[in-house]
A and B are shown apart, each in its own frame.
Chain A
Amino acid sequence: MKMFLRILSAERLKLSGSYIWLLVLASPAAAVLIGLYASSPAGGKPDWTILLSVMSTLHALLFLPVLSGLYTAMLCRHEHLDGGWKALLALPVSRTAVYLAKFTMAAVLLAATQALFIAAVIGTGLIRGIGTPVPWGLFLGTCAASWTACLPLAALQLAVSQAWSSFAAPLALNVSFTLPNVLIANSATYGPYYPWVQPMLAMIPHGQADYGAFNLPLESLLIVVLGSFALFLAAGLLSFRRKAV
C-alpha cells in the first residue's frame, strides 16, 4: 500500500505542467456552449433536469468514452518513449502497484472531468437565470454513476495502451467502439450490454426518457459495468505482470 501511494505521488508529479489538464477542461467547455444556446422549452426557462440532459448528451455519449481512452493512452505514452517502462520497472516496484497507480490516475482524471462538468452545468444554469435551488443529489448521483460506468472503459484502454507502444492505435480502437454509441443508445436490445454506452445511460436522469435503453433498472447497469470492469482490469493486470520490457 505504501509503495502504491509512492508510485501514485510520482505519477501525479509526472502530469504536472502537462497538456493533459487542458483535456480535462475540453468537454465541460463544450457542454457550456451547448447549454447556453439550447433552446428553452415553450413557456419559460429551462429547469435543472432539462439543462443536465441537454448538456450531458454529447459529454456522456462521446466525450467520456473517448477521454477514458485518451487519458490512459497519455499515461502510458512517456513510458513507451525511450525505454520508460524499463526505467520505471527496474526500480524496486511491484508491477501490480505500478499498474493500479496508472489506473487510479486515469480514474482521478475522469473524476476531475465530471466535477468540472457539474460546475459547468451549475454555471450555465445561473447564467440562464434558473432560480430554483441546485439539485445536488441529482447532479452528484448521475455524475458518479456515469464516472463508474467509465471505469471499465479506462481499464480496457489501459490494458491496450500498456501493451501497444503506439499512441494512436489504442485511440483508434477506442473511437471505433465509441461511435456506434449513437445508434446503440437507442436500442433496447443491445444498449444495456454495450460498455461504451453505459456512461451515457447512467447520466440520463431517471424518468426523463422512456424509449430505447434509457430507462433500465440500476441493477442491470451495475452488473454490466462491474462485470466488464473486473474482466478488463484483471486481463490488463495479468498481461502487464507478464510483459517483457
Chain B
Amino acid sequence: METIIQTADLVKRYRGRAAVDHLNLSIGKGDIYGFLGPNGAGKTTTIRMLLGLIAPSGGQVEIFGKDLRKERLDILRRVGSLVESPSYYGHLSAVDNLEAIRRILGAPKRRIAEVLDIVSLTGEEKRPVKGFSLGMKQRLGIAAALLGSPELLILDEPTNGLDPSGIQEIRSLIMSLPREHGITVLVSSHLLSEIEQMAGTVGIIRQGRMIYQDTIARLRERSAGEMRLVVSEPEAALEEAFRRGYDGMLRTDELRFSGMDDARVALLVKALVERGHAIYRVEEQRQSLEELFLQVVEGEGR
C-alpha cells in the first residue's frame, strides 16, 4: 500500500522536555488513521508539525513522498485540515467564510456548494456563523478543509465537545470520505470509542511516544475474550484440558482459556461432558477495547 504520511524519529522539545519523542507515524493511502492518546500526549503538537505550523526539533516528515521542509506549499495544496477548534468569522455567513478560503486556494466557485452539501449545511449557508451550533461550526470547519479537494484530511479532535448525535454525524461523514472521494484521513481523539468504529488503523501515543500502531482488527484480536468455564471438578477438568493441548488456567474455581475459536470450545465441552464433568456455565468474557486502550496507555513504557 502507498504511504501518504511517514515521519521518521520526529521530535519536538519544549525547554528540554520532549512533547513528541522519536515518533514514527505511518499512514497508508485510503486509510482512516485514528491517532489516539490522552490529553497532552502530543497529538496536536504532532499534527502542527505535519502541517508545518511549528518546526520540529528533530526528525523528518514526508507527505506524499515529499519532504515537508522543502515542498511545504506543494504538500499543503493537497491537504485539508481542521486543527483544534474550527476558526470562523462570526459576522460572515457560511458561504462567505468558505469564499474567503476559496479565494486563497483558487478553487472553483461551485466547490462551495459541493462541500456544503457533503457536510449537510445546505440551507444554512446564508446565516451568520456566530448563530451556528457547535456541531454546525464543526461541520463548517470540515467543509473548509474539504474545499481544496484534498487527498489527505487531517482532523484534530473533530468530535470534541459534541453531543452523541453530533458525534455520530461527524463519524458517518468521515467514514464516507475514503469510500466516496478516495481521501486519506488522519483523525485524532482521546477516546477510542469515538474512533474504533471508523478507523482502519490506530496509533496510540503516550507522553510523546508511539506505544502502539497497528490495524484496529489486530487491536481487537488482542482484546479477544477469555472463555470461562464453571464445572463440578475444576482441577480434574483442567488436567483433562491440558492433556488435550488446551492452554488454560484455574482462577477462583473457574477455568479460563484464551484464544479459543468456536470449534475448540465445542471440542473441549464435548470432551469434558464425556468424562462425566457437570458443566454449569460456559461464558465468554470480553475485555472492551476501551479497557485495553487504558491498559496500553497506562501500562506500557513504565
Contact = CB atoms under 8 A, between A and B. Distances in A.
Nearest to B81: A90
Which bucket holds chain A's interface residue count? 20 to 34
Interface stretch (A13-21, A38-46, A118-126): A13-21
Contacts of A220: none
Interface in B69-122: 73-74, 76-77, 79, 81-89, 91-92, 96, 99-101, 103-106
Nearest to B141: A87
A244 B104 contact: no
Contacts, number: 84
Contacts of A9: 103
Interface string B40-80: 00000000100111110000000000000000011011010
A141 B8 CA distance: 59
Contacts of B84: 82-83, 86
Most chain A CB atoms below 10 A, which of B54, B81, B89, B104: B104
A7 B92 CA distance: 17
Contact of B87 (A6, A7, A86): A86
A12 to B, nearest CB: 9
B144 A87 contact: yes
A1 interface: no
B85 to A, nearest CB: 5
A91 interface: yes
A13 B99 contact: yes
B101 A94 contact: no
A9 B148 CA distance: 17
Given A82-B85, A244-B53, A245-B48, A94 B73 contact: yes
A10 B101 contact: yes
Given A83-B83, A87-B144, A6 B96 contact: no
A7 B88 CA distance: 16
Contacts of A92: 73-74, 76-77, 104-105, 148
Interface of A: 3, 6-7, 9-10, 13-14, 16-18, 78-79, 81-84, 86-94, 244-245
